[in-house]
Amino acid sequence: MNIMKMMKQAADLQKKIGETQEQLAGKSVEFSSGGGMVTVTARGDMTVEKIRIDPKCVDPSDVGMLEDLVLAAVDGALKSARDMVGREMESVTRGLNLPPGMKLPF
């Protein structure tokens, strides 16, 4: 394969990955814990956008439960965001015959 052609393909891929990352930063996913008592919204750039807590689960005598619900919702939202990013990046790199387990961006 021509080295110039490979370099152009790499540059095109890098541009496409950058565009996809930019688009993903504008997309968000939600995850709830405690039957909807705590809901977290995360963006595709792995930032937490919003946390909503149902006032019914705020019990000053059981702060630990609320902390657990928030932690579970944040973890779930970030996992959902990573899954969304993985699916989008897979569609960008489809057909490149990357080695198994190699993830982009590097």
> What topology does CATH give the domain 3-93?
Ybab; Chain: A; (3.30.1310)
* Preceding amide of 60 cis, omega within 30: no
Q: d(Cα 44, Cα 91) in Å, to the nearest integer?
A: 15
Collapsed DSSP state (helix, strand, coil) of residue 41: strand
pLDDT tens digits along 3-54: 888 788 778 888 888 888 888 889 999 999 999 999 999 999 999 999 999 9
pLDDT tens digits along 60-81: 999 999 999 999 999 999 999 9
- What values do phi and psi take at 85, rounded to 5? -65, -45
User: Cα-atom radius of gyration of the chain, to the nearest Å?
Assistant: 19
Q: d(Cα 39, Cα 19) in Å, to the nearest integer?
A: 29
Global pTM reads: 0.74
pLDDT for residue 102 is more than 80: no
What pLDDT shows up at residue 32?
97
